[in-house]
Copies of this chain bind each other. A is one copy, B any other.
């Protein structure tokens, strides 16, 4: 937890540097909220149940819907844009595997109030800054646009109700399956190939020649703003699909190649959800970072985290100095020095052993004779060096 809290703090501070404010929502919501956002199939993947009041509730599988619900309920009159971030547990009933747990932590942000290239750039820049701030070395940010495929599929006369299944196959690059579905709708092989070709298009701004003028110029503008912001480690990838219906334009993902199959560490895009939850339509851009997975990626890259031990471990030499030892440990703690004390009534050797177990930097040995001179023995736990220190000088030793 020390490691987790440390990196959580870095992400939080990065988000605040970008002018985002933290929000939190309940662990469970009405099940209907997640069905409205993701369709009834979500029921197969979530923890949904009835409470004692026969309400249908579900442990949240993600945090965008809850945050937008909270926006509609209680923040819709706040000055826009709202720049919100969150950190918390989510739950999915799926087969657990490496970096994919039934209870997992997401760090995310939502920019509520506008749809334009500056908004999208702000979201992507924050995601990139967060990943970078953790010290992850190898990662890729890939930017696409859901409008491109939606337009091509509409041109090929794919009816809207068939879109989700086609997009899902394209998202997973399962082209044979996609070809079958498209064929059954009457889309010919040539049109299908053209669509597949687009989803394989990856590169710099030059690849945008392939797409319609409006989307092309939008993504060019976005990449230019990102470049001005110093975010240059991004690429255009028109194969970023992100199956869900509610995305309206730009979509992006980040991945850590070190993770192998489950390499996605971040996903997001511009969307509009508030009108589904009874609010007015408000354009937004958001993303979520998989906290457990990104920690795993850092581990795979060999990043080490050293737990800090206490500054001082107070060791009473005999039972008759335990009260003095208690006084001394409290003096240290009261000065903000982290200090522990033997409570097992162990002999000095075993206590010093335990002090080293809890990685104490110094042992403060409290003995009867030294106390008569208002002193204690301080032992450097790494070198073993010992010296007498007057109690009046003890606190300053740790400063």
Residues of chain A having any CB pair with chain B under 8 Å:
1-2, 4-5, 12, 16-19, 21-24, 26-28, 47, 49-52, 59, 79-81, 83, 89, 91, 93, 103, 111, 113-114, 116, 118-119, 121-122, 125, 129, 224-225, 228-230, 307, 310, 313, 322-324, 326-327, 329-330, 333-334, 336-345, 354, 357-358
Contact check, B229 vs A345: say whether CB atoms are below 8 A apart: no
Q: How far is the CA of A113 from the CA of B345 in the complex (A)?
A: 12
Q: How far is the CA of A83 from the CA of B50 in the complex (A)?
A: 37
Chain B residues with Cβ below 8 Å from A5 are: 12, 22
Q: How far is the CA of A336 from the CA of B345 in the complex (A)?
A: 48
Q: How far is the CA of A89 from the CA of B27 in the complex (A)?
A: 8
Integer count of this chain's copies in the complex? 2
Given contacts A26-B103, A52-B93, 14 further A-B contacts (CB under 8 A): A2-B21, A18-B333, A18-B338, A19-B358, A28-B59, A28-B103, A79-B354, A79-B358, A81-B343, A118-B341, A118-B342, A229-B326, A229-B329, A230-B327
Contact check, A91 vs B336: say whether CB atoms are below 8 A apart: no
Contact check, A341 vs B122: say whether CB atoms are below 8 A apart: yes
- A-B pairs with lowest CB-CB distance, top 4: A19-B340, A49-B49, A1-B22, A118-B343
The A contact surface, by secondary structure, is mixed
Chain B residues with Cβ below 8 Å from A17 are: 333, 336-339
CB distance from A120 to the nearest CB of B (A): 9
CB distance from A387 to the nearest CB of B (A): 23
Chain B residues with Cβ below 8 Å from A27 are: 27, 59, 89, 91, 103
Contact check, B116 vs A345: say whether CB atoms are below 8 A apart: yes
CB distance from A168 to the nearest CB of B (A): 22
Question: If the complex has contacts A343-B119, A345-B118, are A310 and B19 also in contact, measured as CB distance less than 8 A?
Answer: yes
Chain B residues with Cβ below 8 Å from A47 are: 51-52
Q: How far is the CA of A81 from the CA of B342 in the complex (A)?
A: 9
Question: If the complex has contacts A16-B338, A27-B103, A337-B17, are A323 and B129 also in contact, measured as CB distance less than 8 A?
Answer: no
Chain B residues with Cβ below 8 Å from A21 are: 1-2, 307
CB distance from A230 to the nearest CB of B (A): 5
Sampled A-B contacts (28; CB under 8 Å): A1-B24, A4-B24, A5-B12, A17-B336, A17-B339, A18-B333, A18-B338, A19-B310, A19-B339, A27-B27, A27-B59, A28-B103, A47-B52, A79-B354, A79-B357, A81-B344, A111-B343, A113-B344, A118-B345, A121-B326, A225-B322, A225-B326, A228-B324, A228-B326, A229-B326, A229-B327, A229-B329, A229-B330
Q: How far is the CA of A344 from the CA of B49 in the complex (A)?
A: 41
Question: If the complex has contacts A1-B24, A329-B229, are A80 and B19 also in contact, measured as CB distance less than 8 A?
Answer: no
Chain B residues with Cβ below 8 Å from A313 are: 19
CB distance from A40 to the nearest CB of B (A): 15
> Which of A118, A119, A307 has the most B CB atoms < 10 Å from its CB?
A118
Q: How far is the CA of A80 from the CA of B350 in the complex (A)?
A: 11
Q: How far is the CA of A49 from the CA of B58 in the complex (A)?
A: 11
CB distance from A390 to the nearest CB of B (A): 19
